[in-house]
Amino acid sequence: MIIGDRLRALREGKHLSQGDIERKTGLLRCYVSRVENGHTVPSIDTLEKLARALEIPLYQLFYEGEMPVAAPAVLQSKVGEAEWGSSGKEAIYLKKLRELMGEAGEEDRKLVLFLAQKLATRNRAAH
């Protein structure tokens, strides 16, 4: 899935123009166009802004089904147990990762996204 195509489909499905997204997010219309046409890769913070503007949960930018996919058993917590990354060392790690990804340049974000997609595809094929 190409994130730009998904964003365009969601925006058009809600009968919003790129100008509407500009007003709701503060992102320039030309930037929204560049994302939708695959010329730039948005940061996580930008994706969160776009999801809020589209009034959808963030996961729907990456998933086309009605309900979210169940988390793999490794990520599911037991009753009464905190979710991974919600506190302690994991939360510090995730915060730092988010900050670094926000500071990364477009080419670096493209590389990380490419690697994540390859790993996800390889893991899916192994199961």
**For each of the chain's 127 residues, which pLDDT tens digit applies?**
588 999 999 999 999 999 999 999 999 999 999 999 989 989 888 999 999 999 988 888 887 666 655 655 544 555 555 666 777 888 888 888 888 888 888 888 888 888 888 887 776 666 6
Q: Which pLDDT value is given to residue 113?
A: 82
- Per-residue b or e along 5-29, where b marks 16 or more CB atoms closer than 10 Å to that residue's CB: ebbbebbeeeebebebbbeebebee
Asked if 16 and 25 count as a contact pair (C-beta separation under 8 A), the reply is no
CATH superfamily for 1-64 is lambda repressor-like DNA-binding domains (1.10.260.40)
Task: Please give the span between the terminal C-alpha atoms of the chain, in angstroms, as a whole number.
Answer: 20
All structural domains of the chain with their residue ranges: 1-64, 86-127
Q: Under a CB-based contact definition with an 8 Å cutoff, are residues 25 and 55 in contact?
A: no
What gap in Å lies between CA 47 and CA 58, rounded to an integer?
A: 7
Extract the tokens encoding 117. 């997609």
